[in-house]
């Protein structure tokens, strides 16, 4: 009786194998014999690997339900490995496929490593990960379908077809894994692409989207259509122009596009984390405005010149990355619960202004503004302007690293561990008119020591700032300039005097570190301050002060370039004997005096109030 039941079971299994072979268009089972693993039949193998070792190309190996504690390597071509029940036929290790035309079906297992081509992997549950790997041109034309998978990584694997799978993780298409077809899958996280000519069609992303790596323009030629993220459209535009996008957005990637506007839109989800919500690559004149972004790694990643991000709302994550984004503008945005408000990398001449940027707290490596190279490259940032921003509640309010000639103007930086941190060859930045208040440290300029090497950040100019309520106002162990030659900063712990009543302390303020000084500390946290910087008391010979004088009079031989020290003003007017001669509405406020004679030289600054300063001058 037992033998009859066993024969019946094997006949049913044979019928199952035939049906599967026909339905899946695989090669005929009659190319070889059937080997059995497990079960109670006579001659059945104990381990799957033993059966594989004895099999010949064209054979089928049927594995009865059970737990098989082994790692499996298939080196022979044209083998078919079939489990009785994918939920009950369990391989605790990995399957490594090195022979072509292999079929693996109906198992639960830990993972795959595939180093060959034209294999069929279907109807499996892969518990940890799935890898298509190997040398370029080797792991190609594999079919992976109808599986439940946890992560897929394609490394140098091309022309593979991945379809109708449930992928409870990520899909990484990397290392020149070109021309793959990703079709009709449900993907619970994100897809990361560093390759070219992929077809990504009709996929449903849940809580994820698509992230694009770096490359040349031709590396971004993909067919990405009819995909969604949590039911919202996933847009991928290549070489499209003059389009306006509104409404709900799941994800958006623009490559080599021009004159695209994203406005009055919503991107991101309160309950799902998306890697990137908007990625702009090699584009021109892209505008994002009046759009809300939620729960992201980077909300907007700009790898394009002259982009504009205006009047947007960002919550939870890193809001804006300007990466090779020369001339871009981010203004009037509200950024809350941020890990990094706005970052700069390899970007020049950008403007970041009038933004409200609030972090999650003084946790490690959280930045309001990050202006720096990555630690593994030398691509710093130059000539960027960051002004009129409010920055609160970060580890570093502003972090400047290996970036020079940037302008940090009239920002409010409060409640951070360090208000402004400058390190590693970050030279000649200008930091003025900022409120730096209630931080543990106001400004830190620190040399970086790496073994026997020391890297300094020198010749930064820090003046007209207000340091109020910081535990430590400043530290500087490099060589920097803490006044403009006439006016310095306000320090709430300065205890010097002002005998002449000009609003500037008579003694310098010493910066902890290595002896840097503010030689003209302000006595009060003035909202507006106006003072003649040049000519001051003394005798000038062709622009250079030769001899100081003890009273308010200046003797000038030759022409002179007048300069005003001023902050909190919209413009400075220059007068000779009450006759208006020149108006300057931007710092530095200068005018070249060419007249000869005896004059009262006066300047007027217009801000919330009008302030003025004057001196008698004799130009010879």
Of the two residues 12 and 125, the one the predictor is more confident about is 125
Please confirm whether the linkage preceding 308 is cis (ω < 30° from 0): no
Q: Give 383-429 pLDDT, tens digit per residue.
A: 999 999 999 999 999 999 999 999 999 999 999 999 999 999 999 99
Tens of pLDDT, residues 426-463: 999 999 999 999 999 999 999 998 888 899 999 999 99
- pLDDT averaged over every residue in the chain: 92
Structure tokens of 399?
Answer: 């972090």
Kindly list the domain boundaries of the chain, sorted by start residue.
70-76+88-462, 529-619
Strand partners, 314: 293, 335
CA distance 136 to 103: 22
Whether residue 250 has pLDDT greater than 50 = yes
Work out the average pLDDT over 1-10. 51
Residues 6 or more apart whose CB falls under 8 angstroms from that of 187 comprise: 167, 170, 171, 203, 204, 205, 206, 208
3-state class of 18 per DSSP? helix
535 preceded by a cis bond (ω within 30 of 0): yes
In angstroms, the CA 188 to CA 331 distance is 34
Q: What is the pLDDT of residue 27?
A: 40
Confidence of residue 28 (pLDDT cuts 50, 70, 90): very low
pLDDT exceeds cutoff 80 at 300: yes
pLDDT at 1: 39
Flag whether pLDDT at 175 surpasses 90.
no
Q: Residue 48 in 3-state DSSP?
A: helix
For the domain bounded by 529-619, which CATH number is listed?
A: 2.60.40.10
Q: What is the mean pLDDT of residues 140-156?
A: 92
Q: What is the pLDDT of residue 161?
A: 96
For residues 429 and 112, the model is more confident at 429
Please determine, for residue 7, whether its predicted confidence score (pLDDT) is greater than 60. no
Chain centroid offset of residue 210 CA:
15
Q: Please state whether the predicted TM-score (pTM) of the whole model is above 0.85.
A: yes
Reported as a pLDDT band with limits 50, 70 and 90, residue 78 is very high
Read off the pLDDT of each residue in 88-102 and give the average, rounded to a whole number: 95
> Above 80 in pLDDT, residue 365?
no
Lowest mean per-residue pLDDT among 13-27, 151-165, 348-362, 483-497: 13-27
Chain segment 512-569, per-residue pLDDT in tens: 998 899 999 999 999 999 999 999 999 999 889 999 999 989 999 998 999 999 999 9
231: alpha, beta or left? (left if phi > 0; alpha if psi -120 to 50)? left
323 strand-pairing partners:
345
Mean pLDDT within 8-15 = 54
Contact assessment for residue 341 and residue 362, using Cβ atoms and an 8 Å cutoff: no
Is it the case that residue 25 has pLDDT exceeding 50? Answer: no
Q: Give strand ranges (E) for 332-376.
A: 334-345, 351-353, 356-359, 367-372
| pLDDT confidence band for 375 (50 / 70 / 90) | low
Q: What whole-number percentage of the chain has pLDDT above 70?
A: 93
- Which helix (H) or strand (E) segment holds residue 61: the answer is strand 60-63
Tell me if residue 400 falls in helix, strand or coil.
strand
The predicted pLDDT at position 137 comes to: 67
Q: Is residue 30 over pLDDT 50?
A: no
3-class secondary structure, 54:
helix
Confidence of residue 17 (pLDDT cuts 50, 70, 90): low
């Amino acid at each position: 009786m037992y033998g009859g039941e066993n024969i019946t079971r094997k006949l049913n299994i044979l019928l199952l194998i035939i049906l599967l072979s026909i339905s899946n268009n695989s090669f005929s089972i009659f190319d070889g014999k059937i080997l059995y693993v497990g079960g109670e039949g006579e001659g059945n193998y104990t381990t799957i690997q033993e059966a594989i070792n004895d099999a010949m190309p064209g054979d089928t190996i049927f594995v009865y339900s059970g737990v098989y504690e082994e790692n499996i390597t298939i080196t022979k071509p044209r083998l078919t490995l079939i489990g009785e029940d994918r939920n009950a036929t369990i391989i605790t290790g990995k399957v490594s496929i090195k022979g072509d035309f292999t079929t693996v079906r109906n198992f639960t297992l830990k993972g795959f490593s595939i180093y060959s081509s034209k294999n069929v992997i279907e109807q499996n549950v892969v518990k940890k990960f799935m890898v298509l790997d190997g040398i370029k041109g080797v792991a190609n034309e594999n079919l992976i379908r109808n599986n439940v998978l946890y992560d897929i990584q394609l490394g140098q694997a091309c022309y593979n077809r991945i379809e109708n799978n449930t992928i409870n993780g990520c899909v990484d298409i990397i290392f020149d894994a070109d021309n793959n077809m990703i079709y009709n899958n449900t993907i619970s996280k994100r897809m990361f692409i560093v390759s070219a000519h992929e077809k990504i069609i009709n996929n449903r992303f849940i809580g994820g989207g698509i992230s694009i790596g770096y490359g040349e323009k031709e590396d971004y030629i993909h067919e990405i259509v009819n995909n969604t993220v949590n039911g919202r459209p996933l847009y991928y535009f290549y070489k499209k122009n003059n389009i306006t996008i509104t409404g709900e957005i799941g994800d958006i990637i623009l490559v080599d596009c021009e004159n695209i506007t994203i406005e009055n839109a919503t991107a991101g989800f309160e309950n799902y984390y998306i890697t990137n919500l908007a990625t702009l690559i090699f584009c021109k004149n892209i505008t994002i405005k009046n759009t809300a972004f939620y729960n992201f790694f980077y909300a907007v990643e700009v790898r394009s010149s002259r982009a504009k991000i205006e009047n947007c709302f960002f919550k939870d994550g890193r809001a804006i990355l300007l990466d090779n984004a020369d001339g871009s503008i981010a203004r009037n945005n509200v950024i809350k619960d941020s890990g990094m408000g706005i970052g700069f990398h390899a970007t020049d001449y950008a403007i970041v202004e009038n933004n409200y940027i609030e972090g999650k707290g003084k946790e490690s490596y959280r930045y309001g503004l990050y202006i720096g190279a990555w630690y593994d490259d030398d691509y710093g940032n130059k000539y960027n302007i960051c002004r009129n921003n409010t920055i609160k509640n970060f580890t570093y309010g502003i972090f400047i690293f290996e970036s020079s000639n940037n302008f940090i103007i009239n920002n409010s930086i409060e409640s951070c561990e360090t208000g402004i941190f400058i390190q590693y060859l970050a030279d000649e930045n200008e930091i003025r008119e900022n409120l730096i208040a209630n931080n543990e440290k106001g400004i830190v300029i620190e040399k970086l020591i790496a073994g026997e090497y020391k890297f300094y950040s020198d010749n930064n100019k820090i003046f007209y700032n207000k340091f109020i309520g910081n535990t430590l106002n400043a530290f500087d162990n490099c060589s920097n300039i803490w006044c403009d030659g006439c006016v310095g900063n306000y320090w709430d712990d300065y205890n010097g005097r002002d005998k002449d009543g000009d609003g500037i302390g008579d003694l310098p303020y010493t910066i902890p570190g290595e002896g840097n000084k503010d030689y003209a500390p302000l006595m009060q946290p003035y909202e507006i301050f106006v003072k003649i910087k040049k000519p001051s008391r003394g005798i000038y010979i062709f622009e250079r002060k030769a001899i100081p004088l003890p009273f308010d009079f200046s003797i000038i031989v030759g022409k002179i370039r007048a300069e005003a020290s001023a902050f909190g003003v919209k413009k400075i007017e220059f007068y000779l004997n009450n006759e208006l001669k020149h108006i300057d509405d931007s710092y530095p406020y200068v005018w070249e005096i060419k007249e000869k004679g005896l004059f009262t030289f006066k300047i007027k600054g217009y801000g919330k109030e009008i302030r003025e300063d004057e001196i008698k001058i004799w130009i010879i």
